Structures are given as C-alpha cells and as structure tokens.
Structure 1
Amino acid sequence: MIVIYGIKQQLNPIKKELSDVIHQCMQEVLGFPEDKRAHRFIPMAKEDFYYPGGRSDAYTVIEINMMAGRKVDTQKALIKTLFQNIEEKLGILPVDIEIIIQEQQPYQWGFRGMTGDEVNDLKYKVNV
C-alpha cells in the first residue's frame, strides 16, 4: 500500500499521473503486476501540511508500505527511479519529494482472508 500526501491544490490535479508514474516504477523495479496498485491520496489543506524549509508547495510525501524481503540495493533503486521519473514526467524536483519505505514482516500483513506468510500465489516476488 502506498500513501501520498501533499497540498490539495498541488496534489489533486496530478493524482492520476502520479499514480501511473509510481506504479510504473513499482513494476520496473519490483516486478509488480499491472493489477497490483493500492494507492491512497491524502490531499491536505496548506495550513495542515508543514514541511521543511527550502521546499515549494509541490512538496509531496510518498510512504511505501511493503512486506519485508527486498534487498537494500533494490529499495535504493526504487527510490532513485521514483525521483527520476517523477521529475521527468511531472516536473516535481527531487527536493520536493520525500520517500519513505516501511517494511513489515509478512505475518503482519492481512489480505484475502489470510496473512502474508500464508500466501503462496503472489504474482510477484518479495525477495528481490
């Protein structure tokens, strides 16, 4: 699951395109299938969204929640691919993007009536 935060006036007009870019990166780096998109957008009022100095109103936070198992190099490749593709396709500078990867053990995920460590039919690999 991916949660994206930003100022609503900046985030709302680009939600579809940003979701497409994020998903393309997940497919390219992690091998996600086309139908594995779970994005949640949290557009916020400017007065509720504090961010570090030196950033513009385009400042966007992307939290990626996933089952543990990806190698450090794979996670770093995902972050760098996101920075590059978001800048290239949406014009948001890397200084205005914050990416956080949060990993949880497979047994801490619940979907389709079971926990992640019980699933044996995923269409992608976790240990990449």
Structure 2
Amino acid sequence: MAQYKIYGERAHLARVRTRLSDILHGCSIEFLKLPEEKRFHRFIPLEPEDFIRPADRSAAYTVIEISMFEGRAPETKKALLHGIMARVPEGLGIPVEDVEITVFETPMANWGIRGKTGDELVLGYRVGDAD
C-alpha cells in the first residue's frame, strides 16, 4: 500500500496532474512492486497565496507525501525517491529543485482498509523486501 498526496499551485497541478500521476504510479510499480490496480493519488491544488514557497522555488514547486506500510528496506525507498526525482523533471520539465518528497511509514496495524486493519488484510503482493 502506498498513498500519495501531491500539493502544488492550482494552475500548475491542472497542467501536470495526469502525467504526474502516471509517473508516480509507474515508480510505485517498478520500485515498490505494487500491482497495476493499486493507484491511490490525491491532488491538493492550492491558490498561490495558500502555498507559500521559498524564493528559490518556481510556480512549479511540487510537494509529494507518500504514506506506506512499513517494512521496505532503505534501499527500496531511496530507489523510489531517486526514480521520482529523475522522472518528474524529465517527463514534465519541472526543475528537480522544485520537487520535494517525504515518505511516511506506519505499521500495518495502524491502517484501516475495507473494514479490517492493515495487518489483517490478505494482500496479493509483498510489502517487505525480505525473501
């Protein structure tokens, strides 16, 4: 499980939403080994006055928060982050300096999904990296 929240200026997100979602989902499939149907993206468009950014960031400044089950190796999370940081600028023309990502991990027992806690779910994919 991985859920994405994407924050940015309203006009910018409107231009890139579909392509950015495709990039993020492709990285989730490749690096986290999530199934194709596990796409959970929430775009949070903000007016410029509500999305204060440092002077050295452009109107394309994009903040991505990823919530996921704990259990993946640091190398897996770093591969995901590097993949996103490479593909977003390449695919969307957003400067890499304008892309910030944070991964939040929580125990599966702290999730409520489809009437069960995460640790009660039967998943069709692995969460951890161990064999």
Matching of residues 33-112 of structure 1 within 5 Å: 33-112=35-114
Equivalent in the alignment of 2:16: 14
Supply the distance in 2 between the matched residues of 1:16 and 1:124 (Cα, whole angstroms). 25
Supply the distance in 2 between the matched residues of 1:52 and 1:78 (Cα, whole angstroms). 25
Aligned residues: 127
- In the superposition, the TM-score normalised over structure 1's length comes to 0.96
Root mean square deviation, CA, Å? 0.8
Deviation at 1:13, TM superposition (A): 1.4
What are the ranges of 5 or more consecutive residues in structure 1 without an aligned counterpart? none
1:125 and 2:126 are equivalent in the alignment? yes
Q: Secondary structure at the match of 2:100?
A: strand
Deviation at 1:51, TM superposition (A): 1.4
Supply the distance in 2 between the matched residues of 1:51 and 1:80 (Cα, whole angstroms). 22
Supply the distance in 2 between the matched residues of 1:117 and 1:80 (Cα, whole angstroms). 29
Give the fraction of aligned pairs with identical amino acids, expressed as a percent. Answer: 46
Supply the distance in 1 between the matched residues of 2:55 and 2:76 (Cα, whole angstroms). 30
> Aligned partner of 2:63: which letter?
V
Q: Deviations over 1:60-91 (max 9, x none)?
A: 00000001011111101100000101111111
Supply the distance in 2 between the matched residues of 1:56 and 1:29 (Cα, whole angstroms). 28
1:2 and 2:4 are equivalent in the alignment? yes
Q: Secondary structure at the match of 1:124?
A: coil
Q: Secondary structure at the match of 2:36?
A: coil
Supply the distance in 1 between the matched residues of 2:17 and 2:30 (Cα, whole angstroms). 20
- In the superposition, the TM-score normalised over structure 2's length comes to 0.94
Contact 1:32 1:123 in 2 (8 A): no
What are the ranges of 5 or more consecutive residues in structure 2 without an aligned counterpart? none
